[in-house]
Amino acid sequence: MTLSFFLLLTAILLLFQMGLLLYLVIRKRNRQRLEEEVESQYSHLTEPFASYMMDSSDARFLYAVKSIPHQQIVLERLLNGYVAFTKGGSASPLVQRLSEEFLTENYTCVLSQRNWARRVNTLHYIEDFHMRSLAPILRERLKQAGTLDVETQQLIRTLASLNEDVVIEELNRFSNAPVRLFVDVFHRLNKTNAEKHVKTALEGENETIKHAAFTYIAYSGAMTFLPQVEKELASPQVETRIQALKTIFRLEYLSEPDLLAPFFDSPFWTERMFAARIAGIMQFSRYKKSLSTLLGDSVWWVRYSAAEAYTHFSDGDVILAHLSENHPDRYGRDMAAQWQTFRPGGAR
């Protein structure tokens, strides 16, 4: 190879690098110009938007938003800010009206594109703005979904936020559907639909959705389901019994304290732990002796929960002081000593 060939190759590479650099500079300038234009239009529309959201008869914003070139980006920023910083903003009929009038067509196009990131972002926007106009399209996409990937999960959450309870039936198609996703769906549906499906879940055999129902009951405080939860304490499934105990602990109520008795002698340490926690937080004095036994349990978490349970009783500090000196198990004595200085409340 001659020297001229290497010089030519070097010149070509140099021109290529310069061309690439020029392209990146132009791209950056265009992006910066776009951001400046969007920021200018956003600032210009902030006051009319705020006025419109307080009084929808003030039509200045509607006229202005129709004339700007970056309508979608600016409107998304305005609506996003309103939803994020205004109490109940996501339920505002004006947010829904604006998004459906100006964004429905664009979002419909995006949902049919191959750009995965844009589709998922659009699903988030649809959920935040409660765009019911797109529910039929989303339902059809969910029926066609073959795998429970990230996009399908967000599709399910979005439809649930639109109170489309068909998502429960569709979600049941996927054998790998996690408890967390069912819980998300329950919380996004309105109370009537959520409780209808929780009732069905508790009566069914699907353990995954049943455990999700327990979580929903625990965090929503749905005491009407307490009899069904207590019934599951006799379930042959260990995990179901544990979820029922966890729900009762969260609700801080048990209609019949005797239902707790078998769990103090359970071969499963998690059940013993929750038995101790429930006895303490509900201040079931009849189980003080059982708590003393659990204070010498072989599992640290059980001993910890038993000692903590005593702190809920009015005489808990006295009992812990006695056990710290006289408990037959040295680990039990140590745990009692650690907790005897804590006394958050009195007995009831």
CA 271, 274, 280, 284 dihedral sign is negative
Q: Do 127 and 138 contact (CB within 8 A), yes or no?
A: no
In a domain, 220, yes or no: yes
Looking at the structure, tell me whether residues 196 and 235 fall in a common domain.
yes
Q: Give yes or no for residue 60 having a pLDDT over 90.
A: no
The string of pLDDT tens digits covering residues 263-316 is 999 999 999 999 999 999 999 999 999 999 999 999 999 999 999 999 999 999
The string of pLDDT tens digits covering residues 223-275 is 999 999 999 999 999 999 999 999 999 999 999 999 999 999 999 999 999 99
Q: How many CB atoms lie within 10 A of CB 151?
A: 16
Looking at the structure, tell me whether residues 73 and 126 fall in a common domain.
yes
In a domain, 204, yes or no: yes
The pLDDT of residue 343 is 53
Looking at the structure, tell me whether residues 123 and 187 fall in a common domain.
no
Lookup: tokens for 328: 């037959």
Q: Give yes or no for residue 137 having a pLDDT over 70.
A: yes
Total domains present in the chain: 3
Q: Phi, psi (5° rounding) for residue 298?
A: -75, -15
The string of pLDDT tens digits covering residues 310-338 is 999 999 999 999 999 999 999 999 999 99
CA distance 140 to 143: 5
The string of pLDDT tens digits covering residues 162-179 is 999 889 989 989 988 999
- If you ran DSSP here, which 8-state letter would residue 90 be given? G
Looking at the structure, tell me whether residues 245 and 261 fall in a common domain.
no
The residue among 197, 227, 255 that closes a domain is 255
Contacts of 340 (CB under 8 A, 6+ apart): 317, 320, 321, 324
Lookup: tokens for 297: 């349990």
